[in-house]
Amino acid sequence: REEVEEEEEAIFLAIILPTLFFNAVLGTTNQDDFKILDDFRNGLDNADLLKWPAKGNDPCGPPAWPHVFCSGGRVTQIQVQNMGLSGTLPQNLNQLAKLQNVGLQKNNFKGKLPSFSGLSDLQFAYLDNNKFDTIPSDFFHGLGSVRVLALDQNPFNASTGWSIPPELQESAQLTNFSCSNCNIAGPLPDFLGKLASLSALKMSYNNLSGQIPPSFGGSNL
């Protein structure tokens, strides 16, 4: 019996000790999150502005990488506003599943805006004043916690324009939605006036048509 117990203990140690060592080497950051941040860096033309270490795979630290904030080894915030960054963003950005606050405004990001579909913890997204030329059709899907969403001053779908999809009405906590000068075309959706929490709506310098929805009359806008 003792021999069996010793053998079981040896097997346990053979499995657990390498795992503990492996985790110690990797640090505290979820490695899927690290991969996305690495893709973020690699898509930039001037990534040196971030001052992220060339070596290392632990953005959550300690010490945490500049402009990155974490909780429990998961990335919760990226704050790089007004840094003069240029380049494209990884299209799997929405796999940062615990992202709560992203500040990318006032840079020179270009190309296709990644979908934010499924970012159920996201509360604040500042994407305004960039050069994104395309917004994906599923961008707004599943943003159940978002409170502030700023998309202003981006040349989305310049040749065809785009319309606000019905998925936005899933964002029941939305208080501020701004999309001035971002090529929205067609009528304003009636559901915007029915979002009980929505108090600020900025839609100037677009190609809106038709009437202001009657629902706006009884709204908190």
- Give, for all 221 residues of the chain, the pLDDT tens digit: 444 345 444 433 443 333 333 333 445 899 999 999 999 999 999 999 999 999 889 999 999 999 999 999 999 999 999 999 999 999 999 999 999 999 999 999 999 999 999 999 999 999 999 999 999 999 999 999 999 999 999 999 999 999 999 999 999 999 999 999 999 999 999 999 999 999 999 999 999 999 999 999 989 99
Nearest to 37 by CA among 10, 5, 9, 67: 67
- Per residue, what are the HEC states of the chain? CHHHHHHHHHHHHHHHHHHHHHHHHHCCCCHHHHHHHHHHHHCECCHHHHCCCCCCCCCCCCCCCCCEEEECCEEEEEECCCCCCEECCCCCHHHCCCCCEEECCCCEEEEECCCCCCCCCCCEEECCCCEEEECCCCCCCCCCCCCEEECCCCCCCCCCCECCCHHHHHCCCCCEEECCCCCEEECCCHHHHHCCCCCEEECCCCEECCCCCHHHHHCCC
pLDDT in tens, 95-141: 999 999 999 999 999 999 999 999 999 999 999 999 999 999 999 99
Vertex 150: Cα angle to 147 and 156 (nearest 5): 135
* Mean pLDDT estimate for the chain: 90
